[in-house]
Amino acid sequence: MTTLAILTAAGSGTRLGRDLPKALVDLAGFPLVVHAARRLAASGVVDSLVITCPAGLDSAVRDVVAQDPHVDVPVRVVEGGGTRQASVAAGLALATPDVDVVLVHDAARPLAPPRLVRRVVDTVRAGHGAVVPGLPVTDTVKRVAPAPSMGGPDVERVVETPDRAVLRAVQTPQGFDRALLQRAHAQGAARATAEGLAATDDAGLVEALGEAAYVVTGEETAMKITTERDLQVAALLLEEES
């Protein structure tokens, strides 16, 4: 049996101030999607890769990833959907019958290290059907409710202060038993087309089934790139690796 990694790369680069998709934004001479694909391949536990991309860019994404000498696993590219959930579903539809473990990873986390990929896959293969990496939350977190009557739209009422000791900031790649992930996407398919309803991570779809998801230790380098500052931090992390 084999492991398929679905690499979601269909997001825009709007908050990065770019006029091209985030996955194709340059980091130290290579697009983010290439960095992410290299690390998935380098883990030694990924047998094939499906990349979801924006409409009309499948050839461009395929060219930059499949021709990279460090990506030594088979690569397929498929156009993603209007939401992340829809994009993952499009990638999952390409899973071949021999696939029993599926990873879902974001190109926006290009520096997730190979050891993290192995940690997630090993935990799934040890019998945990849904596995997510996560880091302890170090800031105090407040749950709020809007209270415009108390000072305007920028004022929110605190409802609760959760115990941060039991909170985790979740990362990718997330790993799943293939049958469980397919069942979760089938059950939640009606949510996929609406941005406000679509799942922001696949573990959430599994949880909606009433099935358990498990957290393994994440990595600081698996940070998500959203802003220009994030990109600069990632460049510094790459310099530290070299």
Whole-model pTM: value is: 0.94
- What's the pLDDT score for residue 52? 96
- What's the pLDDT score for residue 194? 75
Cβ atoms within 10 Å of 215's Cβ, excluding its own: 16
* Phi/psi of residue 212, nearest 5 degrees: -80, 145
Average pLDDT of 213-241?
A: 95
> CA–CA distance from 117 to each of 87, 122, 193 (Å)?
20, 9, 29
- What's the pLDDT score for residue 151? 55
Band of pLDDT at residue 222, cut at 50, 70 and 90: very high
> Mind listing the pLDDT tens digit for each residue in 109-161?
999 999 999 999 999 999 999 999 999 999 999 999 876 655 556 788 899 99
Query: Which sign does the torsion angle of CA 26, 136, 204, 147 carry?
Result: negative
- The beta strands (E) that lie in the chain are given as 2-8, 26-27, 30-31, 48-53, 75-79, 99-106, 130-136, 143-146, 156-160, 168-170, 174-177, 214-217
Q: What 3-state DSSP class applies to 121? A: helix
Q: Which domains does the chain have, with CATH numbers?
A: 2-130+167-241 (3.90.550.10)
Out of 83-87, 192-196, 204-208, least confident range: 192-196
Task: Label the pairing between strands 2-8 and 99-106.
Answer: parallel
163/184 Cα distance (integer angstroms): 29
